[in-house]
Amino acid sequence: MYNRLRIIALFPLFLLIPILTTAQDKKSGLSVDLTMKPRAEFRNGSFTLKEPEDEPAFFVSQRTRLRLSFGISKLKIGVAGQNIRVWGASGQITTEEGNNTMLNEVWAEYEVVKKLSLRLGRQGLVYDDERILGGLDWNQAGRWHDLALIKFEPESHRLHAGLAYSQDQENKLNNFYSAPGNNYKTMQMIWYEHLINGAYKFSVLFLNTGYQVQSDSSMAYLQTFGGNFYRSAEPLSFTGTFYYQRGENLIKERVKAFMISLYGNYQFNDFWGIHIGTDFLSGTDMDDTDSNKTSEFIPLYGTNHKFYGLMDYFYVGVPHGRVGLWDKYVGTTWMVSPDFSLKLTGHFFNSGARVVVNDLGGGTDGTGPSLKSR
Strand partners, 226: 205, 243
For residues 345 and 353, what is the distance between their CA atoms, to the nearest angstrom? Answer: 24
For residue 357, pLDDT beyond 80: no
What is residue 7's predicted lDDT score, i.e. its pLDDT?
Answer: 40
What is residue 367's predicted lDDT score, i.e. its pLDDT?
Answer: 41
Q: Specify the DSSP element, H or E, that contains 104.
A: strand 101-113
What is the number of domains present in the chain?
1
Q: What is the extent of the structural domain holding 167? A: 124-373
Phi, psi of 7 (to 5 degrees): -120, 130
Mean pLDDT for the stretch of residues 284-311: 91
Query: Is residue 299 very low, low, confident or very high in pLDDT (cuts 50, 70, 90)?
Result: very high
Mapped onto helix, strand or coil, the DSSP state of residue 22 is strand
Query: Is residue 290 very low, low, confident or very high in pLDDT (cuts 50, 70, 90)?
Result: confident
Terminal Cα distance for the chain, rounded: 18
| Within-domain flag for 279 | yes
Mapped onto helix, strand or coil, the DSSP state of residue 82 is strand
107 burial (CB, 10 Å; 0-12 / 13-18 / 19+) is: buried
Query: In 10 A of CB 131, how many CB atoms?
Result: 23
| Within-domain flag for 271 | yes
| Within-domain flag for 77 | no
| Within-domain flag for 303 | yes
| Within-domain flag for 359 | yes
Query: Is residue 12 very low, low, confident or very high in pLDDT (cuts 50, 70, 90)?
Result: very low
For residue 87, pLDDT beyond 50: yes
For residues 3 and 46, what is the distance between their CA atoms, to the nearest angstrom? Answer: 10
Mapped onto helix, strand or coil, the DSSP state of residue 15 is helix
Contact between 332 and 274 under an 8 Å Cβ cutoff? The reply is: yes
| Within-domain flag for 331 | yes
> Which residues contact residue 142 at a Cβ distance below 8 angstroms, ignoring those fewer than 6 apart?
82, 104, 124, 135, 136
For residues 259 and 255, what is the distance between their CA atoms, to the nearest angstrom? Answer: 13
CATH code, domain carrying 302: 2.40.160.100
Mapped onto helix, strand or coil, the DSSP state of residue 305 is helix
What is residue 215's predicted lDDT score, i.e. its pLDDT?
Answer: 86
Contact between 270 and 335 under an 8 Å Cβ cutoff? The reply is: yes
Query: In 10 A of CB 57, how many CB atoms?
Result: 10
Comparing CA positions, the residue from 221, 156, 168, 225 lying closest to residue 194 is 156
For residue 13, pLDDT beyond 70: no
Report pLDDT digits (tens) over 91-123: 887 666 667 889 999 999 999 999 999 999 999
Q: What is this structure's pTM?
A: 0.86
| Within-domain flag for 177 | yes
Of residues 239 and 374, more confidently modeled: 239
For residues 315 and 313, what is the distance between their CA atoms, to the nearest angstrom? Answer: 7
> Which residues contact residue 13 at a Cβ distance below 8 angstroms, ignoring those fewer than 6 apart?
none
Strand partners, 282: none
| Within-domain flag for 10 | no
For residue 364, pLDDT beyond 60: no
For residues 305 and 131, what is the distance between their CA atoms, to the nearest angstrom? Answer: 10
Checking phi first, is residue 256 left (phi over 0); if not, alpha (psi -120 to 50) or beta? beta
Report pLDDT digits (tens) over 173-224: 999 998 776 689 999 999 999 999 889 999 999 999 999 998 888 999 999 9
- For 185-224, the DSSP string reads SEEEEEEEEEE-SSSEEEEEEEEEEEEE-TTT--EEEEEE
Buried b / exposed e along 2-22 (16+ C-beta atoms within 10 A): eeeebeeeeeeeebeeeeeee
Q: Specify the DSSP element, H or E, that contains 243.
A: strand 236-248
What is residue 370's predicted lDDT score, i.e. its pLDDT?
Answer: 36
